[in-house]
Amino acid sequence: MPASPAGQLRSIAIGVTDLDAAERFYTGTWNLESVARTGDAVYLRGSGSFHHILSLHRGDKPDVRNVTFSVASAEDLDAIAARTQANGGKLVAGPQPVEEPGGGTAVTIADPQGRVLRFVHGDERLDAAADDSRRRDAPERITHVVFNSSDVAVAQRFFEQALGFCLSDRTKIMAFMRCNSDHHSIALADSDADTLNHIAFVMPDLDAVMRGAGRMSDAGWPIEWGVGRHGPGNNVFSYFIGPDDFVIEYTADVLQVDDSYKTGGPSDWTWPAGRFDQWGVSKPPSDRIKQAQKKIRFIE
Ligand SMILES: [Fe+2]
């Protein structure tokens, strides 16, 4: 696989209107664990080794502050800064030390459609959760973030040329992009606005996705789409609308690929009428989730 300097998707920073309520939800129900806090932010880890995978920031309205990747070498930061500017993006800051929990050195960029992406090297690692009962039912990490795009071709070109992503599959509505062996770390959905579509948290297996769906249901957060098994990426899914209408997904079984993966096109990924997943058990996405998927923007 052509080496991407982007490394691994690590975390997403989001603005929330009620920090305490959001922390209660993401720890008590979604099953992350608070690992650090500042005056107006909370940092949450999964069961994997990343210092945090989600940070919640007190704000007037929900938004996305940044999506952060953990890169393999300090040289990758310089390469990303140079390639960003050569391909229509903006260098926002760095490389410079990160002044927040998790640390490391980061370069922050904005892509041509205004998404703020941060690439960090030398960030802190924690021991993966040793506690079996915790690992069994906690998200390990974020496995993909999906962005709506007013022009997917523009965004796709930037992710390919500036950040070294490869196209894994293109359906009628979405471009699935990879930067390592995960089938996709980013997907770009055709839309009329540049908003956040959803954030996917990977669980240990299908049973953990199902138990998570039950836990959400018990707490009053119904399934908005799923449970089912996707076509591209082959992952199982269950989607919810969390606090502030962030769309969040429990997923598992994400297809691992290498250079031999044959990129699929729209004609490879069609469903029979009335079918929304491989199993044929999922109903279509709810109207609520379709609305929520268009609401949240990146910070200006
Ligand atoms: Fe997803």
The Cα 128–Cα 120 span in angstroms is 19
- Structural domains in the chain (count): 2
Position 1 scores a pLDDT of 44
Distance 238 CA to ligand 1 centre (A): 9
Distance, in Å, from the CA atom of 294 to the CA atom of 297, rounded to the nearest integer, reads 8
For residues 77 and 167, state if they share a domain. no
* CA within 13 Å, CB half, 150: 9
> How far apart, in whole angstroms, are the C-alpha atoms of residue 239 and residue 249?
4
Mean pLDDT, residues 72-80 taken together: 94
- The SS3 assignment for 152 reads helix
Which helix (H) or strand (E) segment is 164 a member of? none
pLDDT, averaged across the chain: 95
- pLDDT for 210-242, tens place per residue? 999 999 999 999 999 999 999 999 999 999 999
pLDDT of residue 131: 74
Distance 85 CA to ligand 1 centre (A): 29
Instruction: Please indicate, yes or no, whether residues 156 and 99 belong to a single structural domain of this protein.
Output: no
Average pLDDT score over residue span 79-102: 96
The structure's pTM equals 0.97
Q: What is the CATH number for 164?
A: 3.10.180.10
**Average pLDDT, integer, range 188-193:** 95
The range of the structural domain enclosing residue 240 comes to 138-298
CA of 200 to the centre of ligand 1 (A): 5
pLDDT given at position 134: 76
| Centroid of ligand 1 to alpha carbon of 134 (angstroms) | 23
Give the distance (Å) from ligand 1 centre to CA of residue 290.
Answer: 13
Instruction: Identify whether residues 96 and 225 lie together within a single domain.
Output: no
Residue type, position 222, single letter: P
33 lies in some domain: yes
- Position 132 scores a pLDDT of 73
Q: Can you read off the two tokens belonging to residue 100? A: 């927040």
Does 291 share its domain with 162?
A: yes
pLDDT digits (tens, 9 = 90+) for 146-170: 999 999 999 999 999 999 999 999 9
Domain boundary among 63, 89, 121: 121
